[in-house]
Amino acid sequence: MKGEQLLHALGEVDEDYLAQVDELRRISPKKKRHTWIPMAACLCLVAGVAAWALRGGMGMPSKEGAEANSNGMSGSTQGIYVPPLEVELPQAETETMIDMSGFFIYQGRLYAQMDVVEQGQNLVGTQLGESSGTIDEWTPEDQYLEGTGSIGGPFYEVKGYNPRYLLCMVYDYGVELFWNNCDITVSTGGDVLEEVFHLSDGIAHAEFQKEVDVQGENRHTTPITQLEELEAWVDDLGQAPALSSAETDMGQCLGHLYLTKADGVTVHLRLMGNGYVQVAELPEVCWQMEWQSMVP
C-alpha cells in the first residue's frame, strides 16, 4: 500500500522536526494557545504581501484611503477599520517556509479561509473564477495578481450570500467558505452578522461550548434550545457599535457560540471576559454585550 509506505518513511524523518512537534504536544493546552504567536509573522508575510498588492501595487482598483471599504459596508467612516494584515519582514528562519493558510484574490479583495460546511453542496453557486494557487512565500510581490492565491482551484458564489463578502471552494471533505475579512470597516455587529451572514434568516441550531471544553478531549457542547431568545440577543448584538479589540479591557476567551443556519453556514462567536463578544475570524473587532444570561 503506497500510503503505508509513506507513513513508514515518515517514521525516519529528522528528529529535530519530531522534537519540535513533540514539545508542542506535551505542553498543557493553556500554554499551547500562545505557542504560535511567532507564526503570526509567517502568516502576515503571505497575507501582508497580498495586502500590498491589494493597495494598488499590482494595478488593481485603487482604494480611496484607509477608511474606504472595499466591501461597501455601512458606517465605514465611523467604524473600526480592519486593515490588510501587515507586512512583517521575514526572519531568516521563516523566509522560505510554506504556510498553508488559504486565500485568494478576486476583484481586488482578499478572501481568507474561514470554515468548512461538510454537507454544503447546496451552497455552491455560479463559478466566478479560478485561483492559481501559486502564491507562497517565494512569490515576488509583482505576482500577487487577480486570480492568484495560496490555494488553487475554482471558486464559486455562495448561494444566498453577497460575493463581495463570501465565496467558496469545493473539496471532497466539504465546501470551504472564504471571507473577505480584511481591508474592511465594521461599524456595528450587524455589519458582519447581517450583511455578511444574514443571521436574521434564522438560526436553525446553536451550541455553546466552554473554553475549557475546546481544549479538552471530549469537546463537550451544549445545545441552546431557546432560539428565539438567542435571535433577539443576536439582534441586539447587531446594533452594538464595533470596538477595537486592542483598545478594550477584554478578558480571556471564556466560551464559544456556534450559530448554524439552515443552509449549514455557521457563525462562530467568541465569548470574552468582561462582557465582550467577537466573531472568531475577525479578532480585531469586538462588541460589548452581556452574554452570560444567554448560555446554559
Partner 1 sequence: MEDQEIVELYWKRDESALEHSREKYHGYLSRIAQQILYDREDSEEVVSDTYFRAWQSMPPQRPSKLSIYLGRLTRHGAIDYLRRRTSQKRGGATYEVCVEELEESVPSGETPQQVMEEKLLVQLLNQFLETLSPQARALFLGRYYYFDPLWEVARYCGMGEGQAKSQLFRIRKRLKAYLEQEGFVV
**Chain contacts with partner 1 (rule: CB under 8 A):** 1-15, 17-22, 24-27, 29, 32-33, 35-36, 38-39, 42, 94, 96-102, 113, 115-116, 151, 171, 173-174, 176, 214-215, 217, 219, 268, 280
Q: Give the nearest distance from C-beta 19 to partner 1 in angstroms.
A: 5
DSSP letter, residue 125: E
Question: Which of residues 20 and 226 has its CB atom nearest to partner 1 in the complex?
Answer: 20
Measured CA to CA in angstroms, residue 6 lies from 16, 18, 20, 21, 270 at distances of 19, 16, 21, 19, 39
Asked if residues 171 and 113 have their Cβ atoms less than 8 Å apart, the reply is no
Give CA–CA dist 265/258, Å, rounded: 10
Q: How far is the CB of 123 from partner 1 (least distance, A)?
A: 14
For partner 1, the closer CB: 81 or 258: 258
172/247 with CB nearer partner 1: 172
Cβ–Cβ < 8 Å for 144, 105: yes
Instruction: Give least dist CB 176 to partner 1, A.
Output: 6
Cell numbers for 209: 461550548
Pairwise CA distance, residues 30 & 92, whole Å = 29
Rg (CA), the chain: 20
User: In the bound complex, what is the minimum distance in angstroms from residue 249's beta carbon to partner 1?
Assistant: 24
Closest of 5, 23, 7, 4 to residue 15, by C-alpha = 23
Provide the minimum distance between the beta carbon of 188 and partner 1 in the complex, in angstroms, as a whole number: 25
Question: Any idea what the Cα angle at residue 237 is, between residues 212 and 254, rounded to 5°?
Answer: 10
122 grid coordinates: 447546496
Phi, psi values for residue 257, rounded to 5°: -120, 130
Closer to partner 1 by CB, 19 or 232: give it: 19
Q: Are 91 and 54 in contact (CB under 8 A)?
A: no
Q: Which is nearer to partner 1, 12 or 247 (CB)?
A: 12
Q: Specify the residue, 78 or 91, whose C-beta has the smaller distance to partner 1.
A: 91
Amino acid letter, 104 = F
Please state whether 226 falls in left (phi above 0), alpha (psi between -120 and 50) or beta.
beta
The least CB distance from residue 220 to partner 1, in Å, is: 12
Q: Which residue's CB is nearer to partner 1, number 192 or number 243?
A: 192
Minimum CB separation from partner 1 for residue 12, in Å?
A: 4
Identify which of residues 123 and 243 has a Cβ nearer to partner 1 in the complex: 123
Q: Rounded to the nearest whole angstrom, what is the least distance from the CB of residue 56 to partner 1 in the complex?
A: 28
Cell 463570501 sits at which residue? Answer: 166
CB 108 within 8 A of CB 53: no
